[in-house]
Amino acid sequence: MTGRRIRTLAGAAAMGVAASACSAPGGDAATGARGAADSVVIGVPWEPDTFSPLLGYGKDGNSKIFDGLLAHDAYLRLRPALAEELPEVGADGRTYTYTLRDGVTFSDGEPLTAEDVVFTYETILDAKTNNPHRSELAAVDTVRAAAEDKVVFTLKYPYAAFAARTVLPIVPEHVAGGQDPNTGPFNTRPVGTGPYVLADWRKGEKAVLKANPRYRGPKPAVRTLTMAIVTDDDVRATRLRSGDLDGAVLPPDLAATFRDDPDARTYRARSYDYRAVSLPTAHEVTGDPAVRRALDLAVDRATMVDKILDGAGRPAYGPLPSDDPWFARGTERAHDVEEAARVLDRAGWKAGRDGVRVKDGVRAAFTLHHPAGDRIRQDLALAYASDAGRIGVDVTVQSGTWEVIEPRMGRDAVLAGFGSTGDPDFGLYTLLHSSLAGDGFNNMPHYDNPAVDRALDDARRTRDTDARRAAYDTVQRELAEDPGYTFLTHLDHVYVLADRWQDLTTQVEPHEHGFSSGPWWNVEDWQPKP
């Protein structure tokens, strides 16, 4: 789970597989599954709480309902979207000027203006707006309309990653401006400039998108896109196999069962998505840095990748993948049970009669939560508990809904998921900075390392690449010595899709995948096979 507040609905997990497999997404869109290429039904495990960018929806791009000033291409390079071109950056790195594309209208027919951009950013920056990602725009001092088609951002300090923040979707002031951004109808009845409009949303069941007739680009060949919300991995696979779905995101082992299906194609996307165990620093056991360090040494990451991910991933030694250009070389950690035991011995954690270590009358035991229905997290949690048991740490694994888990995040361990693309600041600051401790899914364990805070702040406030690299090296080396999480694996995202469209691609993906990522990241550009 990341900072974005996404609820994993548990209803499907409680239903019988057979009953769920027979349940079509409903409405006209149901006829699209394994049928005409202009109607597509995709099975995904989650849905947004809201479709309002003012509250965080689509902040990293790929929203089908909205556009940002910029967008990412297949290789995550920035390209113009609502802006005519990439921004003009001032010599001091503190002003970014965007000129809007001419002739763009919202889906209700009203024209896009610079005031809509100003309204969007100012509303998100307003402390009264419940946007959990406001800190990502902390560098913004002012945003103003210099002309009807020109927007100027002035930053408090040079922020090298700012342009990538402007993939954030733009909303119409004439619609959302008269509403409470936290509770208004715009949250469920959005109006945007994107290739699709939200035609129907039945929470916990499906979201139906229809082609926007006023879209500025070519008319999409896929006229109806239905995202069927199916939280349970096995149920999603069953529905895909029955023909109820055209495509789905699946764990690698379930995706492998479609290998011999001549009508299906498997896509594998590299990602920044990783799984980690958050270790609350206030807990009487995990609050001890020696325990956290020992667990980091005890975990067998390579076996997790091989056995649980079926090879579709890499060991994770921190938030950044080991093949990322910002990864700090030398922070890889070997699986070393003997050294883990010595770390605990030196810290005074001695084996008790039952094999569980004890210090000052406290047993080395804690609870690890994972969301129900997520097979990968369940298997990783069980493997983690097994590895911990080998060094005398007793981990009790519990599954539950996020409604049950969230109130416990500050005091219990959680098998969490994170990962952001675009710039190292995006994935590191909210995960580790002490100012965000306990802020929703940000800094879940209340990690507090002054050296990490200083390095994160320094990296945000300079455009010098070498200085930024040194700062992020410091962050990663500190985190290896003083872990607030046990990083387990980076994942490759695996998708299975009916083989009816040509030349589909994937992107390098963030944690939040399936709904806006996957081969359907650019579904508006799909063309059916001849």
DSSP for 341-358? Answer: HHHHHHTT-EE-TTS-EE
Buried-state track 331-369, b at ≥16 Cβ within 10 A, e below 16? bebeeeeebbbebbbebebeeeeeeebbbeeebbbbebb
Domain with CATH 3.40.190.10 in the chain: 6-47+192-269+495-525
Residue-level length of the chain: 530
Rounded CA separation 440/131 (Å)? 11
Partnered with residue 211 across adjacent β-strands are 196
Task: Find where tokens 């939200």 sit.
Answer: 198
Query: For residue 154, with 0-12 CB atoms within 10 Å meaning exposed, 13-18 middle and 19 or more buried, which class applies?
Result: middle
Query: What is 274-491's CATH number, 3.10.105.10, 3.90.1150.60, 3.10.110.10, 2.40.10.120?
Result: 3.10.105.10
Q: What's the pLDDT at 80?
A: 98
Whether the CB-CB separation of 239 and 245 falls below 8 Å is answered with yes
* Mean pLDDT of the residues in the chain: 91
Domain with CATH 3.10.105.10 in the chain: 274-491
Neighbours of 19 (CB within 10 A): 10
CA distances from 127 to 55, 130, 437 (A): 12, 7, 17
Q: What's the pLDDT at 422?
A: 80
- How does residue 336 score in pLDDT terms, banded at 50, 70 and 90? very high
The second-level CATH assignment, the architecture, of 6-47+192-269+495-525 is 3-Layer(aba) Sandwich (3.40)
Question: Which amino acid does the sequence have at 102?
Answer: D
Task: Say if residue 449's pLDDT is above 80.
Answer: yes
Q: What's the pLDDT at 32?
A: 54
**Alpha helices (H) along 7-95:** 11-14, 17-21
Domain with CATH 3.90.76.10 in the chain: 53-176
- How does residue 218 score in pLDDT terms, banded at 50, 70 and 90? very high
| The domain defined by 53-176 carries CATH number 3.10.20.30 | no
CA 438 to centroid of chain Cα atoms: 18
- How does residue 517 score in pLDDT terms, banded at 50, 70 and 90? confident
H/E segment holding residue 224: strand 224-229
Neighbours of 188 (CB within 10 A): 12
Whether the CB-CB separation of 279 and 292 falls below 8 Å is answered with yes
pTM of the predicted model, to two decimals?
Answer: 0.84
